[in-house]
Amino acid sequence: TVGVGQSETVVHSMVDFFLLLKLAGAGDELQGIKRGIIEMADAIVINKADGDNVKAAKIAKLEFNRALHLYPEKDSGWSPKVSLCSALKQEGISEVWDMIEDYGSTTRSNHYFEVNRNNQNKFWLLQTIEERLKSNFYNSSKIKTELKSQIKLVETGKTTPFAAAEYLLDLPH
């Protein structure tokens, strides 16, 4: 994702492993990062740890490691890791993959993997139902017509938002 907040939460509900990829020296190490995204991360990888950026990458790794100790233990039983890599130089990538595999082994052996998948599936079942109900409701020609009139009644104070909602929800559609 591009780091806007809501999308990370949605992605977290879809994935087995949440990797936060950061750039050292981008000026957003700890102060600019939302608390929630760090809490969601199963690992933080600082990319572009090469050339003139090596020192900044090592400092960022140290800062993230310190920050991770402030968060409560994850339900998965996994302690998030911080590592460095350079995609340009192909360094640290196999270590990242090893870390992901270790996470998979840990969470499968303690059954978190299965529990998390089940929770994700339940979440998406309910999310899909909710989206479909909303879509069916708002796409109904009767609702489209009646919604406009109920909005006018609410705006003029002739009904309350709650009464208007109840009226609309009770309509056959």
Per residue in 26-52, pLDDT tens? 655 555 466 778 889 999 999 999 999
Residue-level pLDDT at 82: 97
**What does the pLDDT look like over 58-102, one tens digit per residue?**
999 999 999 898 899 999 999 999 999 999 999 999 999 999 999
User: Beta 19-23 vs 43-47: how paired, if at all?
Assistant: parallel
Query: Residue 145 — very low, low, confident or very high, per pLDDT cuts 50/70/90?
Result: very high
Token pair, residue 75, equals: 């339900």
Q: For the residues 94-111, what does the mean pLDDT come to? A: 98
DSSP state of 53: G
Over residues 140-153, the mean pLDDT reads 97
E strand map for 18-80: 19-23, 43-47
**Mean per-residue pLDDT for 6-22?**
88
Query: Does the pLDDT value for residue 53 go beyond 90?
Result: yes
For the segment(s) 116-170, the CATH number from 2.60.40, 3.40.50, 1.10.287, 1.10.260 is 1.10.287
Share of the chain above pLDDT 70, in %: 90
pLDDT at 6: 64
pLDDT class for 14, splitting at 50, 70, 90?
very high
Is residue 137 over pLDDT 60? Answer: yes
CA count, 13 A, side-chain hemisphere, 82: 20
The whole-chain average pLDDT of the chain stands at 91
Domain with CATH 3.40.50.300 in the chain: 6-111
Rounded to a whole number of angstroms, the distance between the first and last alpha carbons of the chain is 37
Residues of the chain with CATH 1.10.287: 116-170
Burial of 118 (0-12, 13-18, 19+ CB in 10 A): exposed
Measured CA to CA, the distance from residue 147 to residue 138 in angstroms comes to 9
Structure tokens at 59: 């400092």
Distance of CA 143 to the CA centre of its chain: 33
For the question of whether the overall pTM of this predicted structure is more than 0.85, the answer is no
Quick one: average pLDDT of 155-173? 96
Other CB atoms within 10 Å distance of the CB of residue 39: 14
Q: Which of 19, 14, 15 is nearest to 99 (CA)?
A: 19
Mean pLDDT to the nearest integer, 152-166 = 98
pLDDT of residue 5: 56
Sorted by sequence, the CB contacts under 8 Å of residue 18 that are 6+ apart come out as 11, 12, 40, 41, 42, 43
pLDDT at 3 over 60: no
**Which architecture, in CATH terms, is 6-111?**
3-Layer(aba) Sandwich (3.40)
DSSP bridge partners of 84: 46
Residue 13 contacts residue 123 (beta carbons within 8 Å): yes
Residue with tokens 């140290």: 62
